[in-house]
Amino acid sequence: MPHFDLIALNCRYSHSCLALFYVRQELERNVPGARVHLLQFTINDPYYPTLLRLAGSSADVLFFSVYIWNARYVKRLVRDLARIRPARPLVLGGPQAEVLEGLSPSCTVVRGEIEGAGGQFFHDLAAISLRPMYQGEGGRPFPSPYRDDDFALELRNRYVYYESSRGCPFRCSYCLSSVQSGVRHKELALVEEELARILPFAPRIIKFVDRTFNDNPERALAIWRYLAAQPQPTKYHFEIAPDRFIEEMFVFLAALPPGRFQFEIGIQSTNPETLAAINRRMDAAAAMENVRRLAGMGTVHLHVDLILGLPRETRESFRRSLNHVFALGAHHIQMGLLKVLPTTPLSREVDAFGLLHCEQPPFEVLATRWLAQPELGELHALGECVEAFHNNNYFPTLWRYLRRIGEEPFSFFHGLLSVCRQHGFFELSATQELLARMLCELAGDRSDRELLLELMRYDWLSCGHRFLPLFLEARPLAEVRAELRHSLPPSLDGWYNVRERSEFLKRGVFLELSGQAAEVIELSRAGRTVTACFLLEENAGTGRRVRVAALDLPHGTGEE
Q: CB atoms < 10 A from the CB of 485, how many?
A: 10
Q: What are the structural domains, with CATH classification, of the chain?
A: 3-136 (3.40.50.2300), 159-391 (3.80.30.20), 473-559 (no CATH)
373-390 and 432-443 helices cross at what angle (nearest 10)? 110
Angle at 176 between CA 175 and CA 177, to 5 degrees: 90
pLDDT at position 538 is 59
Lowest mean pLDDT among 92-106, 249-263, 310-324, 516-530: 516-530
Report DSSP letters for 13-53, one per residue: TT---HHHHHHHHHHHHHSTT-EEEEEEEETTS-HHHHHHH
Please state the rounded mean pLDDT for residues 459-475. Answer: 91
Say whether pLDDT at 559 is over 50. Answer: no
Which of 10-24, 69-83, 495-509, 522-536 has the weakest average pLDDT?
A: 522-536
Dump pLDDT digits (tens) for 304-361. 999 999 999 999 999 999 999 999 999 999 999 999 998 899 999 999 999 999 998 9
Contact 156, 267 (CB under 8 A): no
How far the first Cα of the chain sits from its last, in Å, is 64
Q: Where are the beta strands (DSSP E) in 487-559?
A: 509-513, 530-538, 546-551, 557-559
Q: Please answer whether residues 290 and 334 qualify as being in contact, where contact means their C-beta atoms are separated by less than 8 angstroms.
A: no
Residues 133-157: what's their mean pLDDT?
A: 93
What is the tens place of the pLDDT at every residue in 224-246?
Answer: 999 999 998 999 999 999 999 99
In this predicted structure, what is the pLDDT of residue 443? 94
Residue pLDDT, tens place only, 357-377: 999 899 999 999 999 999 999
Cβ neighbours for 43, distance < 8 A, ≥ 6 positions apart: 9, 10, 11, 69, 70, 73
Q: What confidence score (pLDDT) does residue 541 get? A: 53
> What average pLDDT does the segment 108-122 reach?
93
152-195 confidence digits (pLDDT tens): 999 999 999 999 999 988 889 999 876 677 899 999 999 999 99
Tell me if 64 sits within 8 A of 91, measured CB to CB.
Answer: yes
Cα-Cα-Cα-Cα dihedral sign, residues 394, 397, 403, 405: negative
CA 266 to chain CA mean position, Å: 11
Max distance between CA atoms of the chain, in angstroms, equals: 85
pLDDT tens across 382-396, in order? 999 999 999 998 999
Q: Is the pLDDT of residue 405 over 70?
A: yes
